Amino acid sequence: MAYKAPDGPPPTYPQQAHYDAGPVDPRSQGYYGSPPPPNQYGSPAPYQQGYGPPPGGPYGPGPQYGGPYQQPPPMGYQQQPPMGYYDQRGGRGAGAGGGICAGIMSGLQTVRVNMVSQHGNEEFAQYPEPLIMPPKSGKHRQSFVILHGRGSNAKAFGPELLQTPIHDSSALVQDVFPDARFIFPTASKRRAQLFNRAIIGQWFDNGSLRKHIEKEEQLQYDGLRESSRYIHKLLEAEIVTVGAQNVLLWGLSQGCAISLISLLLWEGPKIAAVVGMCGWLPLRKRMEDAVYGLEEQFEEDNPFSDDNDPAATIESKYDIAAEYLCEELQLSFHEHSNAPPQIPIFLGHGTEDEKVPLGSGKEAADFCRLMDFVVEYREYEGLGHWYSPSMLADIVAFIWEKTSISASEPRMVEQEASTC
């Protein structure tokens, strides 16, 4: 039976919130980003028009189409209602045109985009293609992989970061690193338990960061495992092009969190550095308990061991933490012979961060030091859950001083030291 569009005007939907967005800019739409993107054919996705997904796929009957779906949906089509689409009763898909959405969307899961990424294979097909900003100089010598926060995406996050001036100068990050290619990946769509299971872009799901609820930690596991493997693929692709010493991993908020997890799970060559802004370390307490618990057990089992005897010592704290993390995420573990703690880490945090507690940032830095990483941790007075020109200046100085990545005119970003 031929599909017939419903009568009446299409419904309107709330715009998607960017939970890790920066301060509201009165010249823009502030925290709320932009409507869902068009589909691969260049037109708005059908749910924006109030018609629901097109007929297709093994998703059960669609009475408005006159029977079961017969054909698969177009490749790349994500079948899901816009985030936050609820009526006053709290029912998804209610309201104008909602009868169609309710009939189709009940029981549906997020359909992963069926396309192959140039950085990986079908295993990572749920991650959209990264936004790539080519080197300003035209010479590709370095690669910066930079991850957005929860609820955002590459197009909303990347250009704004690159357009933010460094400290009091007019210089931008691309001016300082003209030979760097900037890769901005976008997280996959996942249900967010903290937001009534709304579907948003996030590297992993997580509960509240202000109170520890053990059962909520389990929410993170699938995303931590999948996203860290995807990020590893991105790093490996850039290493082939410019060499490991010229590849840097950088993230904001949840992007910082998955960067640190990816670092702990990294088994490749030493990359240049890891940079985190306003972030935290998932499963930190559990990894810390595993490290101290195994050390105490070793001392009890070996009361006469010689502390100066290398053969009598247990594996490194880093290996204990990484092995525990692999077990929790059901990943294979290989003892690290190519010591990743040699990779320098920069962590910056605003003292007025309203989303990720300042203490969580400090704890992440302390844990990384416990793992024998060289960590530079800085706080920024009065800064909320975002970055600032001063933070960017410190990051540029850190990259210039701690890595082999050369900056153009590094003196132009020198400034008074931030509060440590």
Structural domain contains residue 291:
no
Residues 138, 243: one domain? yes
pLDDT of residue 188: 96
pLDDT confidence tier of residue 302, bands split at 50, 70 and 90: low
pLDDT of residue 407: 62
Tell whether 53 and 136 lie within a shared domain.
Answer: no
Specify if 377 maps to a domain.
yes
Query: Is residue 186 domain-shared with residue 273, that is, in the same domain?
Result: yes
Has residue 293 been placed in a domain? no
Structure-token pair, residue 310: 């290398």
By mean pLDDT, which of 19-23, 218-222, 350-354 is the weakest?
19-23
In this structure, are 198 and 272 located in the same domain?
A: yes
State pTM to two decimals: 0.67
Share of the chain residues as helix, strand and coil, in percent rounded to the nearest 5: 35, 10, 50
Q: State the Cα–Cα distance between residues 36 and 38, nearest whole angstrom.
A: 7
Of 91, 111, 131, which residue sits at a domain end?
111
Instruction: Point out the domain boundary residue: 111, 138, 164.
Output: 111
Are residues 260 and 406 part of one domain? yes
92 and 189 in a common domain? no
Token pair listed for 142? 């370095």
Residue 296 domain flag:
no
Identify whether residues 179 and 85 lie together within a single domain: no
Reported confidence tier of residue 196, pLDDT bands at 50, 70, 90: confident
> Looking at the domain assignment, is residue 302 inside a domain?
no
Residue after which a domain boundary falls, among 66, 82, 111: 111
Looking at residue 323, which CATH number applies to its domain? Answer: 3.40.50.1820
Q: Taking a C-beta distance cutoff of 8 angstroms, is the pair 210, 357 a contact?
A: yes
Q: Between 382 and 32, where is the model more confident? A: 382
112: which DSSP letter? P
Residue type, 413: V
Residue 275 and residue 350 in one domain: yes
How confident is the model at residue 123, as a pLDDT? 54
Residue 67 has pLDDT above 80, yes or no: no
The total domain count for the chain is: 2
Residue 177: what pLDDT? Answer: 97
pLDDT at residue 119 greater than cutoff 90:
no
pLDDT > 90? residue 258: yes
Percent of the chain at pLDDT exceeding 90 = 51
374 and 234, same domain (yes or no) = yes
155/211 same-domain check:
yes
* Percent of the residues in the chain that have a pLDDT greater than 70, as a whole number: 59
**Domain interval for residue 93:** 1-111
Asked if 111 and 77 touch (Cβ cutoff 8 Å), the reply is yes
